[in-house]
Amino acid sequence: AVRAEGDLVASPAAGQKYELKVSKLEIYGDCDAEKYPIQKKKTSDEFLRTVAHLRPRTNKYAAMLRVRSELSFAIHNYFRENGFFYVHTPLITASDGEGAGAMFTVTSLDLSDTASLPRTEKGAIDFSKELFGKKTYLTVTGQLEGETLAMGLGKIYTFGPTFRAENSNTYRHASEFWMIEPEMAFYDLYDDMELGEDFLKSITRAVMAACPSDLELFSKFVEPALMDNLRNITENKFERLAYTDAVKILEPENARFETKVSWGVDLASEHERFLVEKYFKKPVILYNKPKGVAAFYMKLNDDDRTVRGMDVLVPRIGEVIGGSERENRLDVLERKLAEAGIDPAPYWWYLDLRRFGSVPHAGFGMGFERMMMLVTGIANIRDVTAYPRVPGYAEF
């Protein structure tokens, strides 16, 4: 790292407009070029992950971090301009907001001395002796708490870290990631879909306007079709597609899929990408999914087979937004918890929302890193955050 002083003059050399005639040079920090891990030749993303503390010095990752900053501001600006309140939901929770069970346990107990751990009569760890007096976890979503705040404020959003303990080693899953989760009182499924489309288009346009040189770099070195992909989002009306109609489109194509499609199956990434990249060739909002593959909080339709859920699907990524109209009927919600085998006790406060003056409401979640993959063209979620946290890796 150096500081150079001198005169900026027109350059006689080809390929550059100016050059600096140096009169003073100061070395701030020296560097052994032979030992420096990042050389001038192109270095693989896999290697750069091993030196994540140095990769912000490369053009690609500096551009990624600039876009990440601009995208964050675009998200906050969108919600502020549309009358939403920014709220903060807890990172430590006693309830599973997704009902999936893949959560990190938080403990203050001394696990290095298992013999001294407090035990119940059945020999299990007694979490009543914990700091919080019960078993707690890192949050998988701020949605449930967000719903309580929307009942008082009308329209809210969260933007913060979430954690999933799934041992999933794919290019689009991480153990720690950031989520944007708006919740809106008096919204139904169709309002939710309209907001999701408008939000996605707005923040994409904002990044295109704020980061032209960085997007040019990604177009040149990462994804040649990047700008066409982004214009496909900003310039097209998203296709609305009921799950049942999606199955009718996909079933005749089963020969091309690893996972065969039939009604009731949770559509995989390969199915989502076929719909947006091959069939419609534009973003798709898939709605009214089967209740058997849906979270307990999604509102049940009158057919008792489907719920008012929706996923926004985009090229290259698949699902970038997942949301629903929330179940606001107490008796139905209690029945759905029972059918899912979920103990209702930790959700007493969530059920209270339905006991005491509930209203129709809806919301959705967007994975921030997946949105980053979309706007940069970067193919792996490990490369759109400064320090990725994925199974088997928690360096730095």
**Residue 105: strand pairing partners:** 137
Task: Give per-residue pLDDT as tens, 138-149.
Answer: 999 999 999 999
SS (H, E, C) the chain: CEEEEEEEEECCCCCCCEEEEEEEEEECCCCCCCCCCCCCCCCCHHHHHHCCCCHHHCHHHHHHHHHHHHHHHHHHHHHHHCCCEECCCCCEECCCCCCCCCCCEECCCCCCCHHHCCECCCCCECHHHCCCCCCEEECCCCHHHHHHHHHHHCEEEEEEEEECCCCCCCCCCCCEEEEEEEEEECCCHHHHHHHHHHHHHHHHHHHHHHCHHHHHHHHHHCCCCHHHHHHHHHHCCCEEEEHHHHHHHHHHHHHHCCCCCCCCCCCCHHHHHHHHHHHCCCCEEEECCEHHHCCCCECECCCCCEECEEEEEECCCEEEEEEEEECCCHHHHHHHHHHCCCCCHHHHHHHHHHHCCCCCEEEEEEEHHHHHHHHHCCCCHHHCCCCCCECCECCC
Contacts of 102 (CB under 8 A, 6+ apart): 140, 164, 165, 166
157 is written with which tokens? Answer: 């959003």
| pLDDT at 188 exceeding the cut of 90 | yes
Q: Is residue 124 within 8 Å of residue 86, measured between CB atoms?
A: no
pTM of the full structure: 0.93
| pLDDT at 275 exceeding the cut of 70 | yes
**Phi and psi, residue 300, nearest 5°:** -75, 135
Measured from the Cβ of residue 263, the count of other Cβ atoms closer than 10 Å reads 12
- CB half-sphere exposure, 52, CA atoms < 13 A: 17
Task: Give per-residue pLDDT as tens, 317-364.
Answer: 999 999 999 999 999 999 999 999 999 998 999 999 999 999 999 999
Instruction: Give the per-residue pLDDT at 264.
Output: 96
Cα 44 from Cα 50, distance rounded (Å): 10
Cα 9 from Cα 23, distance rounded (Å): 13
User: Is residue 39 very low, low, confident or very high in pLDDT (cuts 50, 70, 90)?
Assistant: confident
Going from N- to C-terminal start, the domains of the chain cover 45-103+140-383
Task: Work out the mean pLDDT of the chain and round it to a whole number.
Answer: 95
pLDDT (mean) for 187-216? 99
Cα 348 from Cα 366, distance rounded (Å): 27
| pLDDT at 11 exceeding the cut of 80 | yes
| pLDDT at 285 exceeding the cut of 90 | yes
**Residue 229: strand pairing partners:** none
User: Is residue 79 very low, low, confident or very high in pLDDT (cuts 50, 70, 90)?
Assistant: very high
Instruction: Give the per-residue pLDDT at 41.
Output: 79
Q: Higher confidence at residue 124 or residue 373?
A: 373
Instruction: Give the per-residue pLDDT at 100.
Output: 60
Q: Higher confidence at residue 97 or residue 322?
A: 322
Distances (CA, A) of 280 to 16, 219, 288, 322: 45, 24, 19, 19
pLDDT (mean) for 31-50? 90
Q: Is residue 197 within 8 Å of residue 238, measured between CB atoms?
A: yes
Q: Is residue 295 within 8 Å of residue 96, measured between CB atoms?
A: no
Q: Indicate the pairing of strand 105-106 with strand 92-93.
A: unpaired
Cα 23 from Cα 21, distance rounded (Å): 7
| pLDDT at 9 exceeding the cut of 70 | yes
Measured from the Cβ of residue 371, the count of other Cβ atoms closer than 10 Å reads 25
Instruction: Give the per-residue pLDDT at 111.
Output: 86
User: Is residue 99 very low, low, confident or very high in pLDDT (cuts 50, 70, 90)?
Assistant: low
| pLDDT at 15 exceeding the cut of 70 | yes
User: Is residue 59 very low, low, confident or very high in pLDDT (cuts 50, 70, 90)?
Assistant: very high
| pLDDT at 366 exceeding the cut of 80 | yes
In CATH terms, the superfamily for domain 45-103+140-383 is: Bira Bifunctional Protein; Domain 2 (3.30.930.10)
For residue 97, which amino acid is it?
G
Cα 324 from Cα 95, distance rounded (Å): 19
Contacts of 168 (CB under 8 A, 6+ apart): 391
User: Is residue 255 very low, low, confident or very high in pLDDT (cuts 50, 70, 90)?
Assistant: very high
User: Is residue 168 very low, low, confident or very high in pLDDT (cuts 50, 70, 90)?
Assistant: confident
pLDDT (mean) for 112-117? 88
**Residue-level length of the chain:** 396
Q: Is residue 18 within 8 Å of residue 8, measured between CB atoms?
A: yes
| pLDDT at 101 exceeding the cut of 70 | no
